[in-house]
Homo-oligomer: A and B are copies of this chain.
Amino acid sequence: MSGRLPFREWVASLQERVEKALARHLPSAETVPARLHRAMRYSCLDGGKRARPLLAFAAGELCAAPAEKLEIVSCALEMIHAYSLVHDDLPCMDNDVLRRGRPTCHVEFGEATALLAGDALQTRAFELVAGENLGAPVVQIEMLRCLARASGSLGMAGGQAIDLDAVGRSLDLPELERMHAMKTGALIRAAIRLGALCGEPLSEPSKEALDRFGQRVGLLFQVVDDILDCTASTAALGKTAGKDSAADKPTCVGRMGLERAREFAGRLREQALESLQGFGERAGRLVEVTDFIARREF
């Protein structure tokens, strides 16, 4: 039924659904220690494009996955993503004060609470995927491995570390792609894989095609991020614009210039869509989400 909703409405309905599910799957703001739980809720609720949940739900449509399961993996993905933002914004990292149009977590709650909130969000994500409502343990274990690999030292956290080490240094394009693939791409790929794991098993060739799609769309997401960091306003982004170039961070735009970065994004979009061709109409939402990511302005 949701398959028939126009894209914008589908996005809005999922964003609302994920928001409600996150509110339910996080400890209440009154649960002791209340300050920590308020910081966790502050960092997850009321915002974000929910790009990873959109991809998980869209991938779930390929495999007739039930929405209840997609909701849970979406919450776990958002918690991992939120934890990484909270820690990334800390003074010892990017030292940023604005996120999703509001003060960052450590500005609002202090550094120590923000540190612990990030830590506990990561834990809660794994706890959710290990929870009772997700179905067969053998599939949950596969999901947990996928989520851990994507977010650990060979995935997201490792990408952050490479990013740190690269400040002021020039990365060549393969190095830059590798960093992006880890820092942002890994969790995007995991979102797609986790969405698919919520439904009927895919054949090996289908899995591989979907993972090729995930690779391309993950890189696309980051290249568009780099472009927006240069071209969009702080107000539009809800986070500090221009900070990557100001901090002399390696970005695609810095490496290849704005025009070639746009061309690169266009190629990645085409490659992503090509990987979906074998799926036919079942991949309709994935096509739409790809265009949403390619054309987003925030």
Chain A positions within 8 Å of B, measured between CB atoms, are 27, 31-33, 35-37, 40, 83, 87, 90-93, 110-113, 115-116, 118-120, 122-124, 126-127, 130-131, 137-138, 140-141, 144-145, 148-149, 151-154, 157-158, 160-162, 164-165
Other than A27-B154, A127-B152, give 12 A-B pairs with Cβ distance below 8 A.
Answer: A36-B157, A91-B92, A112-B164, A113-B164, A119-B122, A120-B153, A122-B122, A126-B126, A126-B148, A127-B144, A130-B141, A141-B141
**This chain: copies in complex:** 2
Judged by DSSP, the binding face of A is helix
Instruction: Say whether A165 contacts B111, CB under 8 Å.
Output: no
- List the B side residues contacting A130 at CB < 8 Å: 141, 144-145, 148
The smallest beta-carbon distance between A162 and chain B, in angstroms, is: 5
Once bound together, how far apart are the Cα atoms of A92 and B105, in whole Å? 14
Which of these, B36, B111, B140, B153, contacts A153 with CB under 8 Å?
Answer: B36
Instruction: Say whether A111 contacts B123, CB under 8 Å.
Output: no
Q: Which chain B residue has the least Cβ–Cβ distance from A140? A: B141
